[in-house]
Each structure stands twice: as C-alpha cells, then as structure tokens.
Copies of this chain bind each other. A is one copy, B any other.
Amino acid sequence: MWAPVRESMFLGRGALKNFARFKSLTLQTINKQVLEAEYAVRGRLPTRAAAIQQEISQGMSKYPFKELVYCNIGNPQQVGQEPLTFNREVLALLTAPHLLSNSEKLVEQGLLSAEAVARANEYLEKSAKVGAYTDSVGFEFIREEVCDFIFSRDGFRPDAKNVFLTNGASEGARLVMSALAAKHLGTIGFMAPIPQYPLYSALSTLMDSELVGYYLDEDKNWAVSLPALNAAYDDAVKRGIVVRSLVVINPGNPSGNNLTADTLRDVVRFAKEKNLVLIADEVYQENILTKHPFKSMSSIMHELNLDLEIVSLHSLSKGFLGECGVRGGYCIFENFDPEIMQQFVKLKSIELCSNTVGQLSVGLMVRPPVADAATLYEKEKNEVLGSLRQKAEILRETLSALEGISLSEIGGAMYAFPQVKLPQAAIKAAEEQGVAPDEFYCMQALETTGLVVVPGSGFRQVEGTFHFRTTFLPTLEKMQRAMKSFADFHNDFMKRYS
C-alpha cells in the first residue's frame, strides 16, 4: 500500500487523478504505536450502549428496560452528582469578575456566600486572571496552597517549584513516562498493576515501551505483594527490559483496594531498591471505604527516610468533587535531579499551561471554605461521600450473594471489580462469537438489564479469570433497581450456560 503513495510523490501533477484514491495517512502508514495503543474503557460496550440509548430516545427500544444505568466510567456528575456550591461560586466570580462589583447585593439575596466573594477577591488580588496563560507549571499561589495541603495531610511541605498544575492527573503521568522512555537504554519497562487503569498500558504503547504488569492479590483484597513485584521485575529483567518505573494506584482503579501502610512500605522500599521512579496515582485519596485511612506514598517515603524519585498525582475528577469536566490536577515531584526538573518544566512549556479554571479549582480543592460557606460545604461533601458508601454497600450485598461471583472488599475509589466464574458453555459460546468471555457476559448484561459495565479484559486479569468493573455512582434509586435486575440476569445467565 505504501509503495504507490511514495511513487506518487515523484510524479507530476498529471498523475494525481490516478493516485487520488491513495490516502497519505492509512492504517499501513500510521505510527504503529498509535495503531497498537488500546483504550478499553471506551470500547465496544459503550458503543453498543450509545446505540441502545439512541433507540430508547427515539422510542424504538425493544429492550426490557426503560433507561441505561451507566456504571462504566468514573464520571460522577454525568450520573447525578451535584458540584459543590462554594467552589462553583468562586469559579463563576473569577470567570465574570464584573459580578463582584455588585457582590454585596448578591450575598444579601442569598445567591452567593460572603466567603465565596472573599475567596474570589483574594485570588483576583493574586492576579488570578482566567483569560491569560499562567506560568507553564501553573499559578504560583495555587502551587503554594497545594504545599500547605500536603503539609497538613502528611506533616512535610514540598517545595512549590516541584508542584505542577496539570489538566487532570493523566497529563502528569504522560510527562514523567515520556521522560523515562529513553530508547537509547534499550526496551523500557513501566511496572503497573494487573488489573490496571488502561491509561498506563496506552501510554506505554504510545511510547514504544513495555507495560510490565505485576499481579494484585485478589485473595487479599487486591493488595500489592512483594513476591508479585519481584516476580514481574525479575521476569522483565530476564527478558532484557530496562525497568524504570513503578506505577501504584491507591486507592485502586479498577480494583477498588485501599492499601495498608505496611503494603505501601513494601512498595516504597522495592522502588528504592530497584532504583525505580515511583508514580503514585492517588486520585481516589478522598474515596475511602475501609477502617484504615489513606496514606500517601510520599509520606511513607519520608517515614522510611528514603530519597526515592516519586511523582504523586492528584485530580479534581474524583473524591467528592467529581469535577471531571473541569480537567484539573497536580503532580508533585520529589527527589528529582534539578536538571531533570528543568526538563519537566520545558516539556510542560511545550504543552502550555493547564486551563486556569482547573488550576483555580485545585486551589479550592486543597483549601476548603472555613467561614460562612463551610457548613453547606461539609453538608454537600458528606452527602456525596455518604451516598457513595451506601451505594457501595448495596453493590456489595447484591454481588456477594450471587452464586458464581466473588467479590473482594471494596476498600476505596469508586469501583468494584468482581470475578465471575463463567461456565464452560458460556466461554465456548463467546469463543464461537469471537469475543472475550467477559465481554460476552457484560454485553448480555447490558442488553438484558441496561446496566453498562466494563469487561475485565480491558484492564488485564489473570488468564482464565473473568471480571468486570462497575462504579457505584448512579443515584441510589437507580443503583437499587439496576442491582435487582442484574441479579436476575446473572442467575438466569448461569442457569442457561451451566
């Protein structure tokens, strides 16, 4: 296919007609890494769901349900969660500062809190212009607020020059991984959990590197285990891979685990011992469902007095804010060579600064209101977190009661990753259709109940086991209904294929 295209390059204008059918960019001439990259969270299931949604909207649905229940993406506000009033008030004022000229009246009318007005004024005095590029790494005063937040959370204070404000957490991961993907050293390996959030496999492929998966221990609520880390590492080294980095997602996506301090000590020591850059994906740190609290990997590193090169990622998109659409987050670099920090600054400069509304939202995330807006803020926050807890419980109750499904503790994040022990007949039926058995199961669940979940194969899993990832984000009422019809579906499915 490529040959004639190249040929046409050397032909005169007269030849154009003959070659017009050859596109310049084809599946043969595209960057192979781009072609090979996978991103399963937005795969066949959601495509099918979109088609069903359209049929429902047009009143042409032939399915035994009236609406879809989207448990496939951690996108809380899409499925009913409301934003926090204080944060949005400050953002609205910063977006349209002329409203501040009459803010007293608006406060009197109960349209705005006085504290939102005060915070907006404070940020404006610090030159928080929404419409101008900021420093590529973000507003300095917000980066200082992030440092204050870390200090109050972990008891040590990073240097603001090592804090970058990013468009969500993904950008931070991409920044670091692209710096590590040094091909002159050989084939680069990035260690990441199995199951993993597919961002990491996609980025590895795009960077022509290898994802070195380490298995989480399903029997121990998806914990990271030292033997699994060592096994994955040793195997990769044996295969000649230069392992450079370890990704740990805590709380876990899709596994929903919340790692204990002991486990995190193992993680940090292992990364130091192997001289790996630790990518600490901690975007679910506010979503905790276990008795033990969230511990940051960075605090563990300080406790162990190790000078590990660590990047901690956080985001607006999760927690109780769920501000996915705003696209904001931060990454904190610790113990990196100052010359390398300059390289990161340069890389971020090429991308230009992250969006200012996202940057300002990071400030609001790490510094909640403390005056007249605090009561409502706490109420809204507790409602979100309380409701998540309640819905996780409904999910747990339903799934763990079902024969053929085993479910680990839901320790945090917004997900459960139940295992389905698919009958041989179902596996065979799937194979006959040429689809993965877990996709076969999830597709039937979708078409029978309207529940949209993601097959485990999109996240990788131990071969021969089958899972799916589900959020517990839709409203309580929808979750209750969905779980009821899902239980019926599952029992029926198991009967049919047993």
Determine whether the beta carbon of A16 is less than 8 Å from that of B272.
yes
Contact of A24 among B32, B81, B131, B309 (CB under 8 A): B309
On chain B, the residues within 8 Å of A326 by CB distance are 130-131, 355-357
A133: B residues at CB distance < 8 A: 73, 75, 78, 317, 324-325
B132, A325: Cβ atoms closer than 8 Å: yes
Which residue of B272, B337, B357 is within 8 Å of A357 (Cβ)?
Answer: B357
Q: Which one of A177-185, A399-407, A456-464 contacts B? A: A177-185
Distance between Cα atoms of A25 and B41 in the complex (Å): 31
Could you tell me if A355 and B340 are in contact, using CB atoms closer than 8 angstroms?
A: no
Contact with B along A126-157 (1 / 0, CB 8 A): 00011111101000000000000000000000
CA distance A279 to B35 in the complex (A): 21
Min CB distance, A416 to chain B, in Å? 20
Q: Which of B37, B93, B179 contacts A34 (CB 8 A)?
A: B179
- Given A109-B102, A350-B206: A131 in contact with B322 (beta carbons within 8 A): yes
Partner of A95, one of B29, B88, B111, B343: B88
A322 / chain B contacts, CB cutoff of 8 Å: 131
Asked if A481 is an interface residue, CB under 8 A from chain B, the answer is no
B96 pairs with A105, CB closer than 8 A: no
Evaluate contact between A30 and B273: CB separation under 8 angstroms: no
- Nearest-neighbour CB distance to chain B for A372, whole angstroms, equals 16
Q: Please, which residue of chain B has its CB at the minimum distance from the CB of A31?
A: B182
Whether A343 touches B35, Cβ cut-off 8 Å, given contacts A9-B237, A182-B29, A325-B353, is: yes
Assess the A179–B25 pair: CB atoms within 8 A: yes
Quick check: B13 and A131 within 8 Å, CB to CB? no
**Once the chains bind, are A325 and B277 in contact (CB under 8 Å)?**
no
Q: How many copies does the complex hold?
A: 2
Query: Is A497 an interface position by the 8 A CB rule?
Result: no
Q: How far is the CA of A327 from the CA of B384 in the complex (A)?
A: 29
Residue interface mask A84-105, B partner, CB < 8 A = 1: 0100110111011011001001
In the complex, the answer to whether A129 meets B30 with C-beta atoms within 8 Å is no
A327 touches B354 (CB 8 A): yes
Residue of A6, A357, A358 with most chain B CB atoms under a 10 A cut-off: A357
A408 CB within 8 Å of chain B: no
Cα–Cα, bound, A134→B75 (Å) = 9
Q: Are A39 and B96 in contact (CB under 8 A)?
A: no
Which chain B residue shows the least CB distance to A14? Answer: B273
How far is the CB of A364 from the nearest CB of chain B, in Å?
Answer: 12
Q: Does A191 interact with chain B (Cβ within 8 Å)? A: no
List of B residues within 8 angstroms of A323 by Cβ? 130-131
Which of B78, B184, B325 is close to A355, meaning CB atoms less than 8 Å apart? B325
| B residues near A92, Cβ cutoff 8 Å | 92-93, 95-96, 99
* Mask: chain A, 222-255; 1 = CB below 8 Å from B; 0 = not: 0000000000000001000011100000000000
Please measure, in the bound complex, the distance between the C-alpha atom of A77 and the C-alpha atom of B97, giving whole angstroms.
14
Sampled A-B contacts (15; CB under 8 Å): A8-B275, A16-B272, A23-B336, A25-B179, A25-B309, A26-B339, A29-B244, A31-B181, A34-B179, A37-B347, A37-B350, A42-B349, A77-B132, A92-B93, A102-B111
